[in-house]
Structure 1
Amino acid sequence: MEWLRKKKNNQQVALALEQQRAEKLAIMGAQLLALRQEQGLSLEQVVMLTKIPRRLLQAIEEGNFNDLPEPVYIQGLLRQFADALGINGTKFASTFPISSQQANPKFTGKTPRLGQLRPIHLYFLYIFLIVCTVNGLSQLLNNATLQVSNSQNSPDSEKEYVVKPEAAQAQESLKVKPVSDNLNSLKETQAVQIGVTLKASSWIRVIADGKTEFEGTLPEGTHRTWKAQEQLTVKTDNAGGVLMSVNQEKAKEMGEPGKMEEIQIAAKPKF
């Protein structure tokens, strides 16, 4: 009867852990809801920032534990949600309880059988296989297109394309505003600096040399500066509420009030 007693104890522990997760989710969801409303963001705007489906974000805010996936995935959703609201998502999500086995999986040397996987695991496995297949086909098509295109170009243009194809495509697809001369120069450059002053509370994202330095909502009157060695990208959902200066020059509005705008500033070349 010892095994029966252990089984009963394990069931009680599992139920207690589930109850603890549900209670913690309700508290954290209420905190995220209050923070989102305080910043004046709609749930649709958070969906755009996090790429998380609206039903999952709503389930988090309402504390609907049964409408969400495995606890380890819930912790990841909480981290992304908190990051989008401008707080430390990693620290915030770490307070959500997950089992020690999920948090620190140990390798046993045995290959898990497919029958041991839960339906949610199979769902993510299928999605992963589909994405890999699509990416592989896309890569094959791109390579075939490049071979045909390269055979029609001169040797000089072929060399230029092979050296940096991704940069050329990015320059064609992105809308870049001419804030200084010679932005695309390949000469040696010096660091670039921007300063922003908030005329009205606005969401803003700053990327320096490919790394996100800040993303969140800044209140009216805030002044912040950022530097980069190669390029700075600034995006906001209220262009008329953000004054931006480049390399300590006179500050100008990024655009029209209430409109989303993105500006890229490249470092000036050294002559």
Structure 2
Amino acid sequence: MAKLAPTQIEQLQSIGAYLRQVRQEQGLAIDMLANQIFIRPALLQALESGHDAELPEPVFIQGFIRRYAEALGLDGQAIAQEFRVTPVSVLPPADLLERADTNGAAQPEPQLEPQTMAPPPSPRQDRPESRSSLPLVLGLAALAAILGLGAWGLFGRSGVPSRANNDDPAAETASQADSAADSSDPAETAATPGPTEQPEADDSGSSAPLEAPVVVSASLSDRAWLSVIADGTNVYEGVAESGFEETWTAQTSVVFRTGNAGGVELSVNGDRPVVMGASGVVRTVTVTPSSGVESVESP
């Protein structure tokens, strides 16, 4: 049951009366429209008469209005917007009422207070910066001196063993022999299994199947209502415009239904696309893994 505000009830009654008048002028039965847009006749009667007790939440009511108006050939989006999902408050906010009571008398006083309080902090903030600049410069100079002494100590110590190594040819030949032994045995044996393992991983990844047993692709040349149920789950329902293209997949079956068969081209399991029927005709097609283009061509 919908809990509507008084303004929403008035909007619902006005829109429902208008839709009932247009339906009667076109000579359409409410049961026929209910089957076309998949809404129970009892809900459409409650929508026309404005009985909110028999209707769902406001957001669903707005969707019913849009689908009902589109079935009558009207601008469903514009008519549905006339029914507000959230009621608009009539009273102004409390802060506006307080400003209206003061009549602007207390506004100049708060403007003077921040002007008098703003200047004092500025000189106090400048003084610590000027005082702290001298210790910062001294600290940086001391740090540079320490780093210079440390670098000199490192370079001075590293020069002594380098000269000793240059004077002994036996040490050079021993180091060269050790580096050659390290590069010949373990590095080559560790590198050999690498290229053989990589192509095996690539081959296993490329052979994985990606295609589903049931594939249905739709392309619209005219506006039409669509309903798609894949493996028992409703995956799409609504009115699609011209140029709409979409593909659905399933494991066992896809039930595809449209209210305008002449505006829908359907491709089943990779076959060529086929127009589902004549314009304005309601058509339902059930696709399984063994279905082909003949399931779309035959009514």
Is the TM-score greater than 0.5? no
* TM-score, with structure 2 as normaliser: 0.38
Greater per-residue helix proportion: 2
Higher relative contact order (CA 8 A, sep 6+): 1
Q: Tell which structure's C-alpha radius of gyration is larger.
A: 2
* TM-score, with structure 1 as normaliser: 0.42
